[in-house]
Amino acid sequence: MGSVWMSELSERSGVPVPTIKFYLREGLLHRGEAQGATRARYDERHVERLRLIRALVDIAGLSLERVKDVVEVVADESVPVGRSIGFAHQHLAAEPRTAPSETATARVEALLAEREWGLDASAHAVALAEALDQLDAAGQPLADDALGSYADAMTRVAETDLASLGDARDAMGAAAYVVTGTLLVEPVLISLRRIAQEALWLRGREQRG
């Protein structure tokens, strides 16, 4: 696409004009090329950026402040594409409500070390420790071998995720793709798990007679 007026930007991106104006005022979307005092022309980069903003707002449910942080890093051309995507991905973790317990943190660190998953200070590792604490608090602590089996299964899931990611395009498009794919596949996985639970449960009952 060449450059277009705001009405066509709205059509192409599916974002209503008043919302685009709001994103411009808030500094989430960069200005177009001014054409006189009140009009501007927009291009493909605006469409891509709007796509990332919508993924972060509508699908990830991030606050505008966090969206702004992510979009700024992803738009920074001095940041390598891989790091941009990683930065967006880290922001998908909810901000921790309370610090996880030392026990849960140590379990997660041991798991990461054992699998040689060289992540330090990952927001998702903190979220995992919190989730383990929740199970403890509910009186249903997760056994080590169950945690290991879950980690194996989710590694297979991540391999599938990365295979469908394909070649990273520009940072903005790739970040939107990863955010959308990561989040919208979660309900697919959760439903599949529940369906598999019922199917296995049913089979078990039939076998028991």
Q: Residues in the site for a copy of itself, rule: CB under 8 A? A: 55, 59, 82, 85-86, 89, 92-93, 112, 115, 117-119, 122, 124-125, 127-128, 130-132, 134-135, 138, 140, 142-143, 146-147, 149-164, 177, 180-182, 184-202, 204-205
CA distance 156 to 158: 5
CB of 206 to a copy of itself, least distance (A): 9
Q: Tell me whether residue 75 or residue 185 sits nearer to a copy of itself (CB atom).
A: 185
In degrees, rounded to 5, the angle at the alpha carbon of residue 178 between the alpha carbons of residues 132 and 28 is 105
Q: Beta strands of the chain (E only): which ranges?
A: 33-35, 39-41
CB of 39 to a copy of itself, least distance (A): 29
Give the tokens for residue 142.
């997760």
In degrees and rounded to multiples of 5, residue 15 shows phi and psi of -100, 125
Is there a contact between 165 and 85 (Cβ–Cβ < 8 Å)?
no
Q: Tell me whether residue 32 or residue 174 sits nearer to a copy of itself (CB atom).
A: 174
Q: Tell me whether residue 72 or residue 86 sits nearer to a copy of itself (CB atom).
A: 86
